[in-house]
Amino acid sequence: MAYVITEACIDEVTQDCIDVCPVDCIHFDENLDRKLYIDPNECIDCSACEPACPVDAIFPDNKVPVALSEYVELDARWYKDPAAVRARIDELKPDAASNVA
């Protein structure tokens, strides 16, 4: 099991979870990413990040709401193919700044 960061993190990226994670398994590129990603191979399921998140974006992977289930795969895939995941995030939630006419 691992914890997963879902849609509510997009464009929030408060990083409170990073501050509390005891194994430093939450990452992002601050110049490129619109959300944070938990490494499922490093997460020790301590649950510290879940209550720390101010937008309730974090769930254990077996309790992610069905509508957000894709984020389980996206968090894991970011560690192998971050560009593909960034593109998918933009599809799921278009960047408001890029939609200005």
- Supply 21's token pair: 């994670």
Interface residue with ligand SF4, options 12, 15, 48, 77 (CB under 6 A): 48
Q: Interface with ligand SF4 includes 1 (CB under 6 A)?
A: no
Q: How many angstroms separate the CA atoms of 79 and 40, rounded?
A: 9
Q: Interface with ligand SF4 includes 49 (CB under 6 A)?
A: yes
Q: How many angstroms separate the CA atoms of 46 and 44, rounded?
A: 6
Q: Interface with ligand SF4 includes 23 (CB under 6 A)?
A: yes
Neighbours of 68 (CB within 10 A): 17
Q: Contact region for ligand SF4 (CB under 6 A) — 20-28, 66-74, 79-87, 93-101?
A: 20-28
Q: Are 14 and 54 in contact (CB under 8 A)?
A: yes
Q: Interface with ligand SF4 includes 53 (CB under 6 A)?
A: no
User: Nearest distance from residue 33's CB to ligand SF4, in Å?
Assistant: 16
